[in-house]
């Protein structure tokens, strides 16, 4: 039996055919002889013309993926999810729901590799999409800064990625000439991210073993095969509900501006600054920042952030209101 099973997940208005080049290269690669591939298929269309059918939501597709892993691949000990475009959002949603349910199948998933995933959404044809596809639940979650998408990303980041000795590796790649999903959206705030040759579909259609899109996939699978199977590291508890504090922070004048946040971060201790995520959507970035401040409470990181805001926006009532709660991060 193969030691690693790759599950390919396609994107919006696409199909498993998009993976034919990758699957063929794996099949012909002697170094990956113990790797098998499967394609997870799901319904995706502009609209449903059948009166008894509907376009499934992300949650429904995510649960379908979980069922596929649990039953169709029940005896595979080590799984890798490789996704394109919307497929990355489906995979993140599935992982977030598995975390919530403490799903034992999560222990088998050792890699998530995402090509051109619109984690921060896609602006392409947005006005027309809103007008023509308003009833399509998949299109709605492809819009910029969708709350459910960001919540799933946060769960993956803070309970699978930013943990000691993570047992799942997460990689995110953008296409250098992708006009559908921007590089900022595809890389988002994932720490292990990069840019590959190709447009939105070319990025997953490597034409040779030397194509960089295949090289990164091959290296990830070889790295995975080299890892000894070990008990899954403890998944960190669900993060505290920081939503109310972030809402208050966003009331601070200028906080929605990445340049203002950069000025505030510049006043933090160097070790804290080094751990902060790259700029992203303000709400998601601040949620991540609060977790980092809490991780470095021994350096009084919460107090330092409060002092930075007070210096940038002196005597503002919102800053005074959040100060006590930021300082509390240093002891909680």
Q: Of the spans 90-94, 119-123, 158-162, which averages the highest pLDDT?
A: 90-94
What's the chain's average pLDDT?
A: 85
The answer to whether 121 and 143 are in contact (CB under 8 A) is: yes
pLDDT greater than 80 at residue 70: yes
The answer to whether 26 and 32 are in contact (CB under 8 A) is: yes
126 confidence band (pLDDT: 50, 70, 90): very low
Q: What is the mean pLDDT of residues 93-100?
A: 91
At 204 the pLDDT is: 97
| Spatial CB neighbours of 79, under 8 Å, sequence gap ≥ 6 | 4, 5, 6, 7, 69, 73, 108, 109, 110, 111
At 149 the pLDDT is: 82
At 116 the pLDDT is: 95
pLDDT greater than 80 at residue 300: yes
CA distance 299 to 175: 39
197 confidence band (pLDDT: 50, 70, 90): very high
273 confidence band (pLDDT: 50, 70, 90): confident
At 277 the pLDDT is: 65
Please give, one letter per residue, the 3-state secondary structure of the chain.
CCCEEEEEECCCCCCHHHHHHHHHHHHCCHHHCCEEEEEECCCCCCCCCCCCCCCCCHHHHHHHHHHHHHHHCCCCCCEEEEEECHHHHHHHHHHHHHHHHCCHHHHHEEEEEEECCCCCCCCCCHHHHHHHCCCCHHHHCCCCCCHHHHHHHHHHHHHHHCCCCCCCEEEEEEECCCCCCCHHHHHCCCCCEEEECCCCCHHHCCCCCCCHHHHHHHHHHHHHHHCCCCCCCCCCCCCCCCHHHHHHHCCCCCCCCHHHHHHHHCCCCHHHHHHCCCCCCHHHHHHHHHHHHHHCHHHCHHHHHHHHHHHHCCCCHHHHHHHHHHHHCCCC
Q: At 307, phi and psi to the nearest 5?
A: -65, -35
CA distance 191 to 145: 19
At 215 the pLDDT is: 96
pLDDT greater than 60 at residue 51: no
pLDDT greater than 70 at residue 234: no
At 280 the pLDDT is: 67
Residue 308: closest CA among 271, 246, 276, 260: 260
pLDDT greater than 50 at residue 239: no
At 106 the pLDDT is: 92
CA distance 166 to 159: 9
- Give the range among 50-54, 169-173, 241-245 with minimum mean pLDDT: 50-54
Share of residues in the chain with pLDDT > 90 (%): 50
What residue ranges do the domains of the chain occupy?
4-226, 243-328
At 270 the pLDDT is: 86
pLDDT greater than 90 at residue 238: no
212 confidence band (pLDDT: 50, 70, 90): very high
CA distance 168 to 97: 16
Q: What is the mean pLDDT of residues 297-310?
A: 89
pLDDT greater than 50 at residue 129: no
- The CATH number of domain 4-226, selected from 3.40.50.300, 3.90.1300.10, 3.40.50.1820, 3.40.109.10: 3.40.50.1820
CA distance 293 to 73: 40
- Give the range among 28-37, 167-176, 286-295 with minimum mean pLDDT: 286-295
pLDDT greater than 70 at residue 188: yes
At 232 the pLDDT is: 47
What's the distance, CA 224 to chain centroid? 19
Q: What is the mean pLDDT of residues 109-123?
A: 87
274 confidence band (pLDDT: 50, 70, 90): confident
At 141 the pLDDT is: 55
Residue 175: closest CA among 216, 147, 220, 142: 216
pTM of the prediction? 0.68
pLDDT greater than 80 at residue 125: no
């Amino acid at each position: 039996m193969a030691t690693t099973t790759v599950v390919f997940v396609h994107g919006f208005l696409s199909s498993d055919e998009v993976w034919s080049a990758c699957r063929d290269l794996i099949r012909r690669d002697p170094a990956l002889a113990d790797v098998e591939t499967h394609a997870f298929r799901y319904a995706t269309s502009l609209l449903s013309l059948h009166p008894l059918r509907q376009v499934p939501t992300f949650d429904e597709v995510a649960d379908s993926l979980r069922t596929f892993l649990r039953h169709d691949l029940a005896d595979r000990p080590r799984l890798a999810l490789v996704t394109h475009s919307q497929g990355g959002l489906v995979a993140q949603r599935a992982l977030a729901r598995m975390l919530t349910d403490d799903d034992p199948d999560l222990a088998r998933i050792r890699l998530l590799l995402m090509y051109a995933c619109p984690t921060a959404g896609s602006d392409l044809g947005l006005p027309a999409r809103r007008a023509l596809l308003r009833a399509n639940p998949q299109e709605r979650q492809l819009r910029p800064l969708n709350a459910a998408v960001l919540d799933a990303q946060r769960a993956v980041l803070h309970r699978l990625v930013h943990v000691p000795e993570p047992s799942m590796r997460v990689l995110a790649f953008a296409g250098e000439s992708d006009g559908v999903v921007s590089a900022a959206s595809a890389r988002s705030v994932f720490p292990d991210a990069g840019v590959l040759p190709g447009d939105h579909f070319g990025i997953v259609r490597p034409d040779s073993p030397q194509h960089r899109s295949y090289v990164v996939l091959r290296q990830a699978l070889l790295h995975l095969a080299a890892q000894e199977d070990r008990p899954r590291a403890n998944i960190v508890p669900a993060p505290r509900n920081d939503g109310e504090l972030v809402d208050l922070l966003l009331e601070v004048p200028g906080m929605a501006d990445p340049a203002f946040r950069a000025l505030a971060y510049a006043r933090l201790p160097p070790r804290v600054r080094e751990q902060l995520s790259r700029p992203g959507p303000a709400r998601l970035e601040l949620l991540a920042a609060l977790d980092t401040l809490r991780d470095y409470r021994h350096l009084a990181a919460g107090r330092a952030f409060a002092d930075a805001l007070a210096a940038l926006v002196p005597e503002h009532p919102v800053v005074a209101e959040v100060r006590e709660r930021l300082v509390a991060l240093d002891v909680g």
